[in-house]
Amino acid sequence: MKKLIKKTISQIFSTADSEAIVQEAQKQIIRELDAPSRRLFLQRGLTLGGVAMLTGCDISDNASVENALGKISGFNDRVQGWLFGSTRLAPVYAESMITRPFPFNAFYAEEDAPQVDGNDYRLKIAGLALDKREWSLPALYNMAQVSQVTRHICVEGWSAIGKWGGVPFGDFLRLIGADLTAEYVSFKCADEYYTSIDMATALHPQTLLALTYDGQILPRKYGFPMKLRMPTKLGYKNPKHIEVIEITNKFTGGYWEDQGYNWFGGS
């Protein structure tokens, strides 16, 4: 594993400006892989901010260094993908531990959250799926649902525990005849947010097409009419107010990811 990582990094980087960063990143990778917790590796490892702290580089002034850090971020995504698995579950909690009130978080103020008319709402399916009919909310509410009490972890450094209910996303993808060998599932939202995830995450048993929060119809501030709840991902990977789900082999990035956040975004 160590040799593979070293070889991969040496293949990725070639510029003289990034050489020092690569050396420091190599040292950090080996230290974390030797640590007892691989989760610690993912938390401290090759994020843009983490590598900037390791190297002391100002990524805003040096285009070649910023490019190098971006490549490290992509490498981090691949490592997280290697370690991800359907049997690796996020912790679940007792309802007594729910954070009340659960925080609102978005790239806009709470009063600016989109107001979606549930009567007219239709979920659109695009891409590699056999059944592309549009879904009304009553049809979605009539599907078999489960609930989970899990922790939302924000990249800003805070976390909160909440209870979400809805349809296991893997069940929904199978129902619409999605191509489960496709690489990505992407989302477009009513608040102009967009993101994408890998198929393995989409099929993870804890990934939920969430329609309720704490036993009630999903409130507007938490993503009405639906959000994708993934306790294995950081909060910015959990899209709200979903309007379109696309199964695709085309990489479509994401709102924050296109601004430098890690794409995989594992928590």
pLDDT tens digits for range 157-174 = 999 999 999 999 999 999
- 230-239 mean pLDDT: 96
Average of per-residue pLDDT values in the chain: 80
Neighbours of 117 (CB within 10 A): 7
- How confident is residue 267, by pLDDT bands cut at 50, 70 and 90? confident
- Domain 95-259 maps to which CATH number in 3.90.420.10, 3.40.50.150, 3.30.70.260, 1.20.1250.20? 3.90.420.10
Judge whether 179 and 129 are in contact, CB under 8 Å. Answer: yes
Task: Give the residue range(s) of CATH 3.90.420.10 domains in the chain.
Answer: 95-259
